[in-house]
Chain A
């Protein structure tokens, strides 16, 4: 770890073992698909094979006649076909090849399959649109009648800073480039799964689902059944990965299971096949990025203009957030006086795009960090030097017109450049003119607004309960997604309250235990979400100290003190021991105080709500503070490219990230290792490549991900900036870990080959031929 002033922490800033580690590595963790109830039914859906169509006829008689099939439900049976978020539970208006026309519940999985096969559907195919260019073309068919030219107007954002016309007039060099990125799949190990069951007396519907955002998913259940939210009990099942993927899709799955449970009055388990998951889970938004950049011959960037268009697919309720973030970050981690950018999404007849680790940033950075190098080349200037001149520094004004503080971006970059011997290697590799295999080194820098910022409320709640035996239970409105949130929260809770890490228990989220605290997204869990955990801990600590004094828990003999001399300020609670600050030998165990508290009726719980500062922004210009703070990073990729096959072998990645304060360094490294390999897949081989809206790669035999054999050597540097904004100074890391990797790879490929890959990924054909094949 570099930088960072030493603080005397007891529990955080240490690599505590994962609170849920043993159950996961031993295979004992119970996932939703592992759950079983006597008499439960299995569920399935029938999907349209067409990407744009009308159902003209549907006949379920044969399916209903099959013994053991207990419910067959079509779009015609549903009171509510369209979910609160816009996606369709079932529909007869097909907007992508994945829309569902019917669902069934039956006594076995094979009966589900038989029932689905027995449903007769007739479709009338309609013209569709698939690419961004098609969707925007004159006279293109409309995916949604209400959106003219297929433009998703709610997702349109602008930056208007300074005067770009004037800026370009000052420029000695002006460069215009277009970059494109592709659809990719989250590829979590566990496909979507849910078990729904109902208490017939109270009508309480319980769902245990692999939901990234349990409250978000609960909303779907209430929505489809038309029952109040307090009639739905959502218990989050342990997640086998999500990365932003188990949001809309799992909401639809859970709602359908609940509906079938409601109809049949029997428990219903619905587990997606991998194919289902590929067909209905959101994908990373493909972007078309058109940038124009102007700089003086000294290397000062004076103007930046951009149009960032993303493919929303058939439905959306995330593109506006995606694009808000894209808008804020549209000119990269650089201070530029004149910026004019427009960002918007278009509807097409493809699978919907949604949240995926990095949100819009991996796409943008793929373009921006190549653009900066293309500009350096035009200026005949060293690309690191150009970055140094323009990158954000303390007091720099961002694209949204506000100054930033605690900016260690340049340090992070310079140290990484030195550590990797970048400059020498880059110069040497550039000279390669022959040789079958050529080496390349590439760099990308990044910055990322921490948490949700002005996108949506970043508030959260935490309930903390001390039990009579001194153990502590916490409940949070944010959820464990596999990223290590429980571990980080347990550390923060223990630190703030003054107990041991081992004292804390943090079970799966239950909607009856805590209030909705928004979604566990945007790498906000630790930086913002845990603020309420810290607050609750600090509040409970005060309460418990007061209790200890009121109960006269200390033995004051030999101190010459009386209880009248003591105030709460004189007592400390640390490592589950109360002691007098001036007489540390006078101490009492936390557990002995809690034990007395329970029999004397003392309060032993605290609930706290954290509300971040208000961040007002002007919609027309995008000006105003966007985020409480930013995390900075630098990634260097080293590759070897086979010049005759286009094979890119990623040899080594060095990733340096400003994490503010490392709550758990081992978990941070884990996040970064995973982020690098995910970025490698995005940068080199992954592509859902829908053909006329149809996803052909529906399983991992044809959808190519990096294997452990492909993973590069990885060097990780953790920087601590001393920025106090986040919880104990922590910043985001989940998304920064992956966002700059593909850009660094593309720059490395250029360094090796002299060929710019402006359309991600750097797959065999693109690297060899300089274009996508077919």
Chain B
């Protein structure tokens, strides 16, 4: 059994102070839906854990979803349920709410937070792909103040994000999508609830007056070492009219990109056709929303 201390921080600065004091051997607990499980499983990453730092008492500082001009700010302590129910998200970036609604079970969604999910850095995290599609920025709080960087750069590798010893994730900032843009999130799991994504994908589409695609984002999950959009697939859509054939081409481009980046692996035989299918689904369903 790992033995560690338990701290509550009263202010954001105190969080950084405690983190700094433990030099990488403190871990933040937000909802606890990942960390508590990992500690119970004696995950080697936490062998030297000195303390768990509980942020749940900083709700007024860190749990919010708000509009600021053209931006949406999402506090790191916002739960999946918060995302699922937010009118702001529903209005401007609905696929993030949908992705959050597919996480775990109601109990897990009530506890698990968006900040925790992203800092746990699982490539299968459902809210990850909409945020990548939106080119979200993260705001990081440290002893020296705050810094901002792209989520894509923030996610270093499975289980690892770009935080210094004194730093923690404070919020996500995303630009509102242009009026008329539609979004979709599609997930493939082994069952209808409490399912970890086998594959997932987030897409954004917008048409110009002529009905040609003027804006596209495609961010697949679970297939790359670090989350990313597939810009070649997006480019392929621009200027073209929505069609089943076009979605097929985009799906193919995504699976080609997967193989280019990760090579042929034991699971490729399945992932290749399946990822094509869900990319096509997501694009087709998004296009349908445009009508």
Interface residues of A (CB under 8 A from B): 110, 113-114, 117, 642, 644-647, 685, 701, 704-710, 763-765, 768-769, 773-774
Contact = CB atoms under 8 A, between A and B. Distances in A.
B236 interface: no
A5 B196 CA distance: 51
A706 B194 CA distance: 10
A644 B191 contact: no
A646 B269 CA distance: 13
B193 A707 contact: yes
16 contacts: A114-B1, A644-B276, A644-B277, A645-B188, A645-B277, A646-B270, A647-B188, A685-B191, A704-B190, A704-B191, A707-B192, A707-B194, A768-B274, A773-B269, A774-B266, A774-B267
A773 B274 CA distance: 13
B115 to A, nearest CB: 21
B282 interface: no
User: Main SS of chain B's interface residues?
Assistant: loop
Given A110-B1, A113-B1, A645-B277, A709 B193 contact: yes
Interface string B171-191: 000000000000000001011
Interface in B228-280: 266-267, 269-270, 273-274, 276-278
A195 B214 CA distance: 69
Contacts of A644: 273-274, 276-277
B73 interface: no
Given A701-B37, A774-B267, 8 more contacts: A110-B1, A113-B1, A114-B1, A645-B274, A704-B190, A710-B191, A710-B192, A773-B270
A642 to B, nearest CB: 8
Contact of A646 (B105, B274, B278): B274
B267 A773 contact: yes
Interface residues on B, range: 20 to 34
B193 A768 contact: no
6 nearest CB pairs, A to B: A644-B277, A113-B1, A709-B193, A709-B192, A707-B193, A765-B270
A341 B269 CA distance: 38
A117 B277 CA distance: 47
A768 B267 CA distance: 13
A710 B105 CA distance: 13
B273 A764 contact: no
A645 B278 contact: yes
Contacts of B37: 701
Contacts of B105: 707
A708 B191 CA distance: 10
Contacts of A708: 193
Nearest to B1: A113
B190 to A, nearest CB: 5
B198 interface: yes
A771 B188 CA distance: 19
Contacts of A117: 1
B270 A768 contact: yes
A706 B191 contact: yes
Nearest to B37: A701
Contacts of B273: 644, 768
A114 B267 CA distance: 39
Contacts of B192: 707, 709-710
Contacts of B3: 110
Given A645-B278, A764-B198, A769 B190 contact: no
B265 to A, nearest CB: 10
A706 B192 CA distance: 8
A707 B266 contact: no
Contacts of B267: 773-774
Given A110-B1, A114-B1, A646-B274, A773 B266 contact: yes
A709 B104 CA distance: 12
A650 to B, nearest CB: 10
A707 B1 contact: no
B1 A764 contact: no
Contacts of B274: 644-646, 764, 768
